[in-house]
């Protein structure tokens, strides 16, 4: 089968702008809970898109660790490529894709670091191996090989032993405060449902249907 013959018909659900919740975060929670209930692998995985100060885009898959009315929270090395992009521009986009439910959510907004206390609390909740990994990896930097990582891990393990492991100063969280959320539901004949929420000047949300 050639690539042009790879097709899927979307038949599971529909999405009506007259039936969605007025609050997009509440609507997102409905869909996220459905993804969790369906037993999907890593339902909190999303593609994070950033842009550098020079306008060079980049995207990668990361995990959100919290979301509420204030936005979507994820954690990373501040000195990584994405950390540098986020600190330089303060904007990002996210895409959640749950193919088993034929659903996708796009989010665009402004990004800022979370409070140090929030990063400390989350870091303390991580498994010991993940804590040591944060100290080990100079994320996004060129390294000589796997052996370099293993040597750094051995050094860090000897340094901290069984813990507690403090949060590295270069590691912490970001919160994306959404200005736009789009809910996409696959439909037959590529006539998909797209319901878009956009932030209004008074802090509310305008709901519109977009053509597929």
Q: Is the pLDDT confidence value at 2 over 90?
A: no
What's the number of domains the chain is made of? 1
- Of 190, 194, 199, 209, which one is the catalytic site residue? 190
CA-closest candidate to residue 176, choices 72, 95, 65: 72
The pLDDT tens digits for 9-67 are 888 999 999 999 999 999 999 999 999 999 999 999 999 999 999 999 999 999 999 99
Does 3 fall in a domain? no
Does 2 fall in a domain? no
167 tagged catalytic: no
Does 80 fall in a domain? yes
CATH of the domain at 132: 2.30.110.10
Pair 179, 199: CB distance under 8 Å: yes
High-pLDDT (> 70) share of the chain, %: 100
Mapped onto helix, strand or coil, the DSSP state of residue 195 is strand
Domain of residue 72: give its range.
Answer: 8-210
CA-closest candidate to residue 107, choices 173, 31, 8, 52: 31
Angstrom distance (rounded) from CA 81 to CA 70: 24
Does 183 fall in a domain? yes
The pLDDT tens digits for 182-200 are 999 999 999 999 999 999 9
Does 163 fall in a domain? yes
Does 29 fall in a domain? yes
Does 113 fall in a domain? yes
Angstrom distance (rounded) from CA 178 to CA 72: 8
Does 33 fall in a domain? yes
């Amino acid at each position: 089968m050639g690539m042009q013959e790879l097709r899927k018909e979307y038949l599971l659900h529909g999405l009506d702008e007259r039936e969605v919740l007025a609050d997009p975060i509440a609507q997102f929670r409905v869909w996220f809970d459905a993804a969790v209930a369906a037993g999907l692998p890593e339902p909190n995985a999303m593609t994070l898109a950033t842009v550098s100060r020079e306008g060079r885009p980049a995207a990668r898959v990361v995990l959100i660790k919290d979301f509420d009315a204030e936005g979507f929270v994820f954690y990373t090395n501040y000195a990584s490529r994405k950390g540098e992009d986020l600190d330089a521009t303060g904007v990002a986009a996210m895409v959640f894709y749950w193919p088993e439910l034929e659903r996708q959510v796009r989010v665009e907004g402004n990004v800022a670091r979370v409070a140090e206390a929030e990063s400390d609390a989350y870091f303390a909740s991580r498994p010991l191996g993940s804590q040591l990994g944060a100290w080990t990896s100079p994320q996004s930097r060129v390294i000589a090989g796997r052996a370099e990582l293993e040597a750094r891990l051995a050094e860090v393990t000897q340094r901290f032993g069984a813990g507690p492991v403090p949060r590295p100063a270069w590691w912490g969280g970001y919160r994306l405060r959404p200005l736009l959320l789009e809910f996409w539901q696959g439909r037959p004949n590529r006539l998909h449902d797209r319901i878009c929420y956009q932030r209004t000047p008074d802090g509310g949300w305008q709901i519109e249907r977009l053509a597929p």
